[in-house]
């Protein structure tokens, strides 16, 4: 299952898979349509001669080569702009963009359809003939017009997709389901790793992309052991370091069979060369934080883009604050913990998401103001847990302290103090916090 998921993730982010399938489909389609016998008098039949049909197909193939080169050039420009202007971690979003793959697939499919037709139109057994599949040639003309329409669509889609609002909206939309699914599988706090537990070493270096918890739990139940991972999903591991621990349960299981336990983890834990959004909501946070930090760099100097990134982060943090972020624990039918997958807590996400932006943007009051509003959103939606209230209060105090140190004019701090006071009233102990507690 892990390998199948890895293949699915690779296919979704590849520009060559769908076009290759379109080439094969175009060749098969041409072979089938060439069997349809349509007379010259039919409105669906090409009205020219065999030589006219060959000239037409040659022209379509040449046009498609030019258009494909133009499309790939525009795509490279978009990728370069996204990487340098926003974040290199956003490139995979463009590669996974299905409309781009469909347009490229139709173009190469039209080229393959027309090029393959040159082997049958006007020739047979090496001799020139006048009979040819007229309906199939008409379909080539239809594909040409469809390709031209898609070229206009691609230009419009590309112009919209490289806008910063669209880029951040895509990140937000793809991260929200991951946050909700992570909150839905929480399992509480696990016990500590006992002394003498078997340490399982990682065989490969890379990022933990996904964990097949169900498969890992079934295998651990059969072996009578409990397995706990050391890295969280999205963290980097080095070959030869500890990937996890395994220890027997009270029923008399044995974790002494290191090859068997190692094989279980190899099959259930996928390690790749890059982070993905499958089970890693922190990667979505990282993409938006990168956009904000890039906008605040001296080379770009675009504070408003940073503010927009913070506003999209507010949506993600609001959903994260409204749900639990406990470790994922899978149990067997008897209630015994079999698999423990650690996750980042809400305070950890908050510190990672706000720390970089705060340090880069402390000198800009509008950025600090946006971050304080983010904390207000979290305060209004968070679960009533002292740890979360403390994290929100700490981040608010850090924002005010850094702004006071970096902003030269005291008048510019007025908006910061206003938002900080509003946040303080929402926290426990403030006016709004006391009213909420009374209710």
The model's pLDDT over 40-52, given as tens digits with 9 standing for 90+, comes to 778 888 888 888 8
Give the pLDDT of residue 421.
Answer: 96
DSSP state of 82: H
Instruction: Please report, rounded to a whole number, the percentage of residues in the chain having pLDDT higher than 70.
Output: 91
User: Is it the case that residue 300 has pLDDT exceeding 60?
Assistant: yes
Q: Are 207 and 235 in contact (CB under 8 A)?
A: yes
pTM, 2 dp: 0.85
CA 268/CA 3 separation, integer angstroms: 9
CA 131/CA 117 separation, integer angstroms: 13
Average pLDDT over all residues of the chain: 87
Helix axis angle for 281-296 and 303-321, nearest 10°, is: 160
- pLDDT tens digits for range 68-120: 998 888 888 888 877 887 888 888 888 888 899 999 999 999 999 999 988 87
Give the chain's count of helices (H) and strands (E). Answer: 16, 10
Which SS3 state, helix, strand or coil, does residue 366 take? helix
Question: How is the beta sheet containing 225-229 ordered, strand by strand?
Answer: 198-201, 242-248, 225-229, 337-341, 328-331
Give the pLDDT of residue 438.
Answer: 37
Give the pLDDT of residue 103.
Answer: 94
| Other beta carbons within 10 Å of 1 | 12
Long-range contacts of 428-433 (CB under 8 A, 24+ apart): 428/389
Exposure on the CB side of residue 315, measured as CA atoms within 13 A = 16
Q: Which CATH architecture has domain 191-272?
A: Alpha-Beta Complex (3.90)
What is the dihedral angle through the alpha carbons of 410, 414, 420, 421, rounded to the nearest 10 degrees? 120
* Range scoring the smallest mean pLDDT among 161-170, 287-296, 328-337, 423-432: 423-432
Cβ-proximal residues to 156 (8 Å cutoff; 6+ apart), any chain: none
């Amino acid at each position: 299952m892990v390998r199948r998921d890895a293949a699915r993730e690779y296919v979704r982010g590849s520009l060559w898979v769908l076009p290759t399938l379109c080439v094969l489909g175009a060749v098969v389609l041409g072979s089938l349509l060439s069997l349809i016998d349509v007379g010259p008098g039919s409105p669906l039949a090409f009205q020219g001669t065999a030589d006219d049909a060959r000239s037409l197909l040659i022209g379509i193939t040449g046009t498609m080569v030019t258009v494909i080169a133009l499309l790939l050039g525009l795509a490279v420009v978009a990728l370069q702009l996204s990487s340098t202007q926003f974040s290199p971690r956003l490139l995979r979003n463009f590669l996974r963009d299905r409309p781009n793959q469909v347009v490229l697939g139709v173009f190469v499919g039209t080229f393959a359809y027309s090029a393959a037709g040159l082997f049958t139109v006007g020739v047979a057994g090496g001799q020139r003939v006048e009979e040819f599949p007229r309906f199939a040639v008409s379909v080539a003309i239809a594909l040409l017009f469809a390709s031209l329409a898609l070229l206009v669509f691609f230009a419009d889609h590309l112009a919209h997709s490289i806008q910063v609002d669209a880029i951040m909206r895509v990140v937000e939309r793809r991260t929200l389901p991951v946050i909700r699914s992570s909150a839905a599988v929480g399992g509480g706090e696990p016990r500590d790793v006992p002394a003498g537990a078997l340490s399982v070493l990682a065989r490969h270096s890379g990022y933990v992309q996904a964990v097949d918890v169900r498969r890992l739990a079934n295998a651990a139940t059969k072996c009578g052991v409990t397995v706990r991972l050391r890295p969280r999903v999205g963290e980097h591991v080095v070959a030869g370091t500890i990937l996890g621990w395994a220890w027997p349960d009270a029923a008399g299981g044995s974790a002494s069979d290191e090859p068997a336990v190692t094989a279980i983890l190899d099959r259930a834990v996928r390690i790749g060369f890059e982070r993905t959004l499958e089970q890693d909501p922190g990667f979505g946070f990282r993409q938006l934080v990168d956009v904000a930090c890039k906008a605040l760099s001296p080379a770009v100097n675009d504070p408003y883009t940073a503010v927009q990134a913070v506003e999209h982060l507010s949506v993600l943090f609001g959903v994260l604050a409204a749900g639990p972020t406990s470790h994922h624990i899978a149990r067997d039918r008897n209630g015994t913990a079999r698999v423990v997958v650690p996750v980042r807590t809400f305070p950890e996400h908050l510190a990672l998401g706000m720390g970089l932006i705060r340090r880069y943007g402390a000198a800009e009051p509008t950025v600090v103001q946006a971050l304080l509003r983010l904390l207000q959103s979290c305060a209004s939606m968070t679960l009533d847990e002292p740890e979360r209230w403390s994290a929100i209060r700490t981040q608010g105090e850090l924002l005010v302290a850094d702004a006071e140190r970096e902003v030269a004019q005291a008048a510019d701090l007025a908006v910061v103090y206003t938002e900080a006071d509003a946040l303080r009233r929402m926290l426990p102990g403030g006016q709004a916090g006391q009213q909420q507690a009374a209710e």
